[in-house]
Amino acid sequence: GQQVMQIPQYQHVQEGEDFTTYCNSSTTLSNIQWYKQRPGGHPVFLIQLVKSGEVKKQKRLTFQFGEAKKNSSLHITATQTTDVGTYFCAGHLSGGSNYKLTFGKGTLLTVNP
């Protein structure tokens, strides 16, 4: 079945350092979404990428969708303690009729102040 893989599983950084998490799919995706889950919280939608090669920015966060629409990345510049949490990518399989959204296992980011 469709799999969405994320690396790294964990990342610990000093405040001010940059952070990147990568997402890869075994199949072409129609789009990819990113969610953030704070400790003890629930996933909260961050952004959706649809076009091949698309790049979107939200303040210090930069999201990219690969040319082949099989991979994506989230980059945070100059991390802050408020960035702590688990970042999930989730992809919709290209084609088909179910529009099933499959989540990766996530990357847990911890930030040392």
Partner 1 sequence: EAEVAQSPRYKITEKSQAVAFWCDPISGHATLYWYRQILGQGPELLVQFQDESVVDDSQLPKDRFSAERLKGVDSTLKIQPAELGDSAMYLCASSRNRVSEKLFFGSGTQLSVL
Per CB under 8 A, does 72 bind partner 1?
Answer: no
Q: How many residues are recorded in the chain?
A: 113
Neighbours of 38 (CB within 10 A): 13
Per CB under 8 A, does 39 bind partner 1?
Answer: no
Task: Find the binding residues for partner 1 in span 79-108 (CB under 8 A).
Answer: 88, 90, 92, 98-106, 108
Chain-centre distance for alpha carbon 67 = 16
Residue 40 C-beta: closest distance to partner 1, Å:
10
Closest CB to partner 1 among 77 and 108?
108
Q: What is the rounded distance in angstroms from the CA atom of residue 4 to the CA atom of residue 2?
A: 7
With the C-alpha atoms ordered 22, 24, 28, 32, is the resulting torsion angle positive or negative?
A: negative
Per CB under 8 A, does 70 bind partner 1?
Answer: no
Q: Residue 82 — φ and ψ, nearest 5°?
A: -70, -10
Q: Binding residue for partner 1 (CB under 8 A) from 7, 44, 68, 78?
A: 44
Q: Binding residue for partner 1 (CB under 8 A) from 8, 12, 45, 53?
A: 45
